[in-house]
Structures are given as C-alpha cells and as structure tokens.
Amino acid sequence: MSSPEHAPPIAAIVVVTHNSSQVIPGWLDAVEALAETNALELCVVDSGSSEEELQVLRDQVGGRVGALVTLPNVGFGRACNAGAEATSAPVLLFTNPDTRVLSLPAAVQAGEPIDGSVLGAYCLEPDGSRSPLGFRHFPMARLEARNLLLGGHTDTYPRTADNPEWVLGAALAVSRTDFKRIGGFYSGLFLYFEDADLCAVHVERGGRIALDTGFVVEHKGADSSQPRYDVHLDGVARQSGRIFAARHGRRWHAAALYALFVLWYVPRRVAFALVRRALGRYGKGSIRVLVRDLLLPGRVIRRLGAESAHRDTR
C-alpha cells in the first residue's frame, strides 16, 4: 500500500505477528491513517501462527497491506529481516502488533534521509504524557547479573530521552542503507535483545542512537500474541541476554551469567513458585516444567514451532 497515490514510498512499516489477531486491527488502523497523508509501504510478516490464526490474519489484512509474508516461527529478528527484503522504501520502521504508530519521525515525514541514526519513539501514555522508549545503558553482563540477583526489585533498564544507548524494537526506525550495513537483525537471537543488539552493532560501526520527538506511538507491551500457558519465555530471555553479553562484551561473560542463573536465579524462581502454590496462587503448569523451560530454552523455542533452537552464542 502506498499513499498518496503514485508517490514513491518514504518508509516501509514492518510488523511481525505471531497469533496476534486480537491486536493487529489497531496497528492496521493507525498505519492506514498515516498512509492517508504519507506514501508508505505496509508489510506484515507472520512468524508461525496457527492455521486458524493465519486465516484470520489474511482476512484482516487482505487488500490493506502491500505485502503479507508467511513463515514458520523463525523468531522476531529473522522475521523483521524478511520484512525488509519484501519492501523497498529507503526507511524501515519496525513495530510490534500492539504498537499504534501515531506519527512518523520528523525527518521521515519531511522526506529527509536519516542515514547514520537508529531512531526510537516516544510512547503516548493514558494521561497524555510521553515516555521515552530509549534506554540509558546497554544490557551488558554487569546489568544482567544485577537483574538475575535482584529481579523486579531493581530498575535494571532505566529509560532516558537523553543520549540513549539503545531503543525499543517495538518502534524503531533505521535507513535501509544502515540496516544493510549492520547486517540486519542478528539471526542468532530468537526472541528478546534483538533491538539492543542492532543498536550495539550500529554504534560499533560509528552510528548514532537517538529518540525523535516526532515519532510517537501507543504501546501497551506484552499484548503482541495470545498467551500460551504451556510456555515459559523467561529462560529464552535469559539465554538471549547471555548471547548479547558474549557478543558485545567478553565470551566468558555468558558462562558467568549462566552460573549465576543456575545457582541463584532458578532456585529463587522455584522457591517463589512453591510459596505461591502453597497460597493457591501459582496458576497453571507444573514447577517441574518451569525448571526444564528455564534450563533448556530450546525446548520452549521448539514448542513455539521454531525450526531450530538458535543456540548460536557468538
């Protein structure tokens, strides 16, 4: 889809779906509103939805987007890369299905190049305020260790509007030239930390990370897919954190984080689960499955229909 009619697209907006039919109408309404005054390519990449969900998605977006790419569950980063390949506009905007893009980056709206920068957005909150979707520090080994030790008792990833080191992938803009130079999203990450990794590689190659005041979205978070109660994603997230630490720090950082994960984090999760079970608040699933999913994230990835476990820890 490109509008105004016959104008070359100034940007491609790419969204990755996975059983996301409950939120994709909001994403689509928002980007179609932008397309009324901006020439845009709209691309939906489905990564491993069920057959029923995929048919609903086809009904929802058919005739309303320029490209619908359907894949097995290859993970967020690989699906984004496929969306980039399916489009041709000079700027790529990557979004989540539960992201409603309200306005484009100022330079993109003006048709100006954004080469050299990866741009993040501001999130419009229910009270009318705008919160930055940029983070003060990369999730290096020290921060990941603190997260493992303290969990929800510390603000591990504080947000900032001033000189962020990385920006949230739920609303991220990058020129196609820079995206190709970076090499796209790293395929060794199945889920989580893809945005931080992309920004880190961009910075390592002399690029800049910034927020754009013209780039405004609504984003609830954690609403992108219908929940599966037989899947614990925490182990996948921790594995991705170790991969990031090894790629952008030192390789032994991953081993140190894994030791902390096994010796402290997993036992703590089990202890909390046992307490919640005693109080009748644990919910569905067994603690044995929880432990296996934490220690063997490849099991979770396979249960999500992925073709491989993405065990690359380079």
Start-to-end Cα distance in the chain? 38
pLDDT at residue 314, as a whole number: 31
pLDDT at residue 283, as a whole number: 66
Helix (H, G, I), strand (E, B) or coil at 17: strand
Residue in 73, 85, 76, 84 with CA at minimum distance from that of residue 49: 73
Q: What is the pTM of this model?
A: 0.90
Banded pLDDT at 69 (limits 50, 70, 90): very high
Mean pLDDT confidence for 129-153: 90
Banded pLDDT at 221 (limits 50, 70, 90): low
pLDDT at residue 225, as a whole number: 56
pLDDT at residue 311, as a whole number: 42
What are the start-end ranges of the H helices in 76-155? 76-85, 106-109, 141-150
pLDDT at residue 312, as a whole number: 39
Cα–Cα distance measured from residue 160 to residue 306, given in angstroms and rounded to the nearest whole number: 34
Q: Residue 313 pLDDT more than 50? A: no
Asked if the peptide bond before residue 132 counts as cis, ω within 30 degrees of 0, the response is: no
Banded pLDDT at 303 (limits 50, 70, 90): confident
Mean pLDDT confidence for 218-223: 74
Mean pLDDT confidence for 188-204: 97
> DSSP secondary-structure letter at 191?
S
